[in-house]
Structure 1
Amino acid sequence: MAEILGRNIKSLVKMRLWKGALIHNSIDPISHSQFADDTIHFGEATEKEAIVIKMLLNDYEKGSGQSMNKEKSMIYFLNTNVRMQRKIGEIMCYPQGNFPLKYLGVQLDPGKHQNRMWEDVINKCQVKASSWKNKWLT
């Protein structure tokens, strides 16, 4: 069912109803990331985009019979004024989270330099690769 959600998001982006978040000027905006039953949505902090996202999630719940886990769902904002944060919070009905946040084992912290953000992941991979190397070469 998550595949259908992803396709519907792509459709809304293609129709320009969902802008997503611009990460860098040289790449297309990102609208979502999915892994197993985990989905993270990226969007422009506007009422219009919040309404589109909320409608998509409501339609997905009705169509799939699944529901979002409201205890694990949160909204995170970057460079958004407090008034808009409140409006979007009212539309989405999810609590606001604070950075830093860990998503799929990666520490997300917009205030942290990108190279330092990935150090932890790289170190974990090196330790894991080292243990595999020792296991298979002995």
Structure 2
Amino acid sequence: MAEALGRSIYRARENSQVSGIRITSNLDSLTHQQFVDDTMLYGLSNLGEARAFKQILDSYSMASRQEINPAKSEVFFFNTKLSIQKEICGILNFNLANLPCKYLGLPSDKGSGSSNMWDGVVEKIKSRVAILKGKWLSFAGKATLVKSVLVVVPIYQLSCFNLPQSKKEILNRHLRSFFWQGAEEKKRISLMAWDKICRPKSARGIGIKDIKV
């Protein structure tokens, strides 16, 4: 059905119902991008184009019996009068949105070398550590939680962006603190270097994945 939606948009472009946006002169205009159930539409900021997209989406909904969620649908404008923005949002029944934003859970306003984009990941780990610290756990239990819960938090963002060295140290510090300190409020001495903890069990480690790696 998603493929059918894409073909409907291509047909609308061929029939000059939608224009899309032209990135380079030697390529066709860009009208949409699709990723699983997420679709991004590109078009000119005029009422005719908005109505054409609305008609395509309505036809898709009728054919597929899938409903578009207006609460999760947004429109981004560039160099467009506010009155036109409101009319287009009214036609599509989508929310007016502003940049920066997140797309597929990742920030769209930061460069790959930005350190601030990792603040959200650090806060997620800190919040989970705060919850888990309230429970009395053995070293085996804490190792399991570190490996299965805490270390996996940054993996999705790491698939797209490099993690700065400063953030690597901060994240590893929270993991070390949870592993050694556990439920106690006072700090405990680390009995083994973290790089040894992260070695595989065959090398006398615990097998925790080092975030640096």
TM-score range with shorter-chain normalisation?
0.7 to 0.9
1:123 aligned residue (157, 162, 165):
162
Partner AA of 1:123 in structure 2:
N
Partner of 1:73: 73
Say if 1:17 and 1:52, in contact at 8 Å, map to a contact too.
yes
Partner of 2:83: 83
Partner of 1:131: none
CA RMSD of aligned residues (A): 2.2
**1:57 Cα deviation from its structure 2 partner:** 0.6
Partner AA of 2:61 in structure 1:
E
Provide the C-alpha distance between the structure 2 equivalents of 1:45 and 1:35, rounded to a whole number of angstroms.
23
Provide the C-alpha distance between the structure 1 equivalents of 2:111 and 2:80, rounded to a whole number of angstroms.
22
Normalization by structure 1: what TM-score?
Answer: 0.76
**1:26 Cα deviation from its structure 2 partner:** 5.0
Say if 1:19 and 1:49, in contact at 8 Å, map to a contact too.
yes
Aligned length, in residue pairs: 120
Report which structure shows greater RCO (CA 8 Å, sep ≥6): 1
**1:94 Cα deviation from its structure 2 partner:** 1.1
CA deviation vs aligned residue, 1:36-75 (integer Å, no higher than 9, x gap): 1111111100000000000111111111100101221111
Normalization by structure 2: what TM-score?
Answer: 0.51
For structure 2, which runs of at least 5 residues remain unmatched after alignment?
115-159, 169-208
SS at match of 1:55: helix
Please list, as runs of the form range in 1=range in 2, the aligned pairs for 1:22-33 lying within 5 A after superposition: 22-33=22-33
**1:79 Cα deviation from its structure 2 partner:** 1.1
Say if 1:50 and 1:88, in contact at 8 Å, map to a contact too.
yes
**1:25 Cα deviation from its structure 2 partner:** 4.5
For structure 1, which runs of at least 5 residues remain unmatched after alignment?
110-115, 128-134
Partner AA of 2:111 in structure 1:
M
